[in-house]
């Protein structure tokens, strides 16, 4: 388990390290004026009437649903593992 | 009832929630053409990073399997590849939706799109290949070799070849916006946690599926022994 976590983290580290190089071509620096540029249309109307939060809530509800599903499967497998270990023990002792 | 590896699973949930809320609500630069779609950087791109990490880990386990043919190594290799394929399909779909509104078409035959499609097809072939063997050890060994070659082909396909030519995809040509994100610390603030969140989510799915595989294998063995 730890080995496999270690490998994943190592791969993650490598990916993060190489990220700036991967996208290094023709960089345009983002300045603070880009954040304030009102000429570019953004979802301002969505925010002004607050409805963006409804979208956020929807997405979180969807994610929560999938998450609960995953957790239930995880628990079910955990239960099977426990049951299986007990079976192993009882078959050894008998 | 205890969940195995609770701490990192809780971390996955926290990072994912942070990405979803922060990714949708925090300030982003106002750039032409991109508009709010710059937020795809928080979702589509990190998932694709997660996919590369899944496929790399899968290749590592394939190498480990060839050195030491344990069922465990094969289980991890398959399930990491499966998680990578899932992320890959989702990445294609989400990328196409974005392309429709920024490039003008779902599919414009862009080098990056084509190469990604070819890369995914190679991995589909891996999944199909595993199904054709009668003998388990033969299946594991040959598919491990295929998997290593698949990864070796996949990386140049998506990271190198599209950069040798003109591509519409951010990071590849003269497309404004996304290629600047690694300079902007505000965007990084959500981007990197998102990469970790997607990677951990993939690992979680792999964890559940490999544990299931182990139980299934032992159970099958038991049934064969008693019959």
Residue ranges of domains in chain B: 6-218
pLDDT in tens, A2-47: 777 777 777 777 666 655 545 445 566 777 788 878 878 787 776 7
**Residues of B in Cβ contact (< 8 Å) with A65:** none
**Residues of A in Cβ contact (< 8 Å) with B17:** 60, 63
Question: Distance from B115 to chain A by nearest Cα, in Å?
Answer: 16
The answer to whether the Cβ–Cβ distance between B35 and A38 falls below 8 Å is: no
The answer to whether the Cβ–Cβ distance between A60 and B21 falls below 8 Å is: yes
Torsions phi, psi for B32 (to 5 deg): -65, 155
pLDDT in tens, B52-69: 999 999 999 999 999 999
Given this structure, which CATH class describes domain B6-218? mainly alpha
The answer to whether the Cβ–Cβ distance between B208 and A70 falls below 8 Å is: yes
Contact criterion met (CB below 8 Å) for B121 and B82: no
The answer to whether the Cβ–Cβ distance between B180 and A73 falls below 8 Å is: no
**Residues of A in Cβ contact (< 8 Å) with B218:** 84
Distance CA B43, CA B190 (A): 10
The answer to whether the Cβ–Cβ distance between A11 and B53 falls below 8 Å is: yes
* pLDDT mean over A58-63: 87
Q: Centre a 10 Å sphere on the Cβ of residue B3 and count the other Cβ atoms it contains.
A: 13
Domain limits, chain A: 46-94
Place of tokens 């030491």: B68
**DSSP conformation class of B5:** T
Q: Is the pLDDT of residue B83 over 70?
A: yes
**Confidence band for B177, pLDDT divided at 50, 70 and 90:** very low
* Res A24: pLDDT: 46
The full length of chain A comes to 94
**Residues of A in Cβ contact (< 8 Å) with B207:** 74
* pLDDT mean over B163-172: 72
* Res B175: pLDDT: 46
Place of tokens 């979180």: A60
Q: CA nearest B38: which of B50, B29, B47?
A: B29
Q: Is the pLDDT of residue B172 over 70?
A: no
Distance CA A67, CA A54 (A): 20
């Amino acid at each position: 388990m730890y080995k496999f976590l270690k490998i994943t983290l190592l791969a993650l580290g490598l990916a993060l390290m190489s990220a700036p190089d991967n996208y290094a071509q023709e960089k345009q620096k983002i300045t603070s004026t880009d954040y304030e540029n009102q000429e570019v249309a953004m979802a301002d109307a969505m925010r002004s009437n607050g409805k963006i939060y409804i979208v956020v809530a929807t997405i979180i509800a969807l994610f929560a649903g999938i998450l609960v599903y995953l957790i239930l499967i995880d628990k079910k497998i955990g239960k099977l593992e426990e049951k299986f270990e007990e079976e192993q023990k009882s078959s050894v002792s008998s | 009832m205890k969940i195995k590896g609770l701490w990192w699973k809780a971390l996955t949930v926290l990072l994912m929630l942070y990405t979803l809320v922060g990714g949708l609500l925090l300030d982003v630069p106002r750039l032409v053409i991109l508009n709010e779609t710059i937020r795809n950087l928080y979702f589509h791109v990190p998932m694709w990073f997660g996919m590369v990490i899944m496929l790399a880990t899968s290749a590592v386990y394939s190498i480990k399997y060839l050195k030491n043919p344990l069922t465990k190594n094969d289980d991890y290799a398959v399930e990491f590849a499966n998680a990578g394929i899932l992320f890959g399909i989702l990445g294609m779909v989400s990328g196409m939706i974005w392309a429709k509104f920024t490039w003008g078409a779902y599919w414009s035959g862009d080098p990056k799109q084509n190469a990604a499609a070819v890369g995914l097809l190679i991995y589909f072939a891996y999944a199909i290949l595993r199904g054709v063997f009668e003998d388990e050890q033969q299946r594991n060994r040959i598919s491990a070799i295929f998997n290593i070659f698949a990864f070796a082909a996949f990386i140049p396909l998506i990271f190198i070849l599209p950069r040798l030519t003109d591509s519409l995809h951010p990071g590849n040509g003269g497309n404004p916006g996304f290629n600047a994100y690694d300079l902007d610390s505000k965007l990084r603030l959500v981007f990197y946690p998102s990469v970790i969140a997607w990677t951990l989510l993939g690992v979680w799915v792999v964890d559940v599926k490999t544990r299931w595989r182990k139980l299934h294998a032992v159970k099958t063995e038991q049934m064969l022994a008693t019959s």
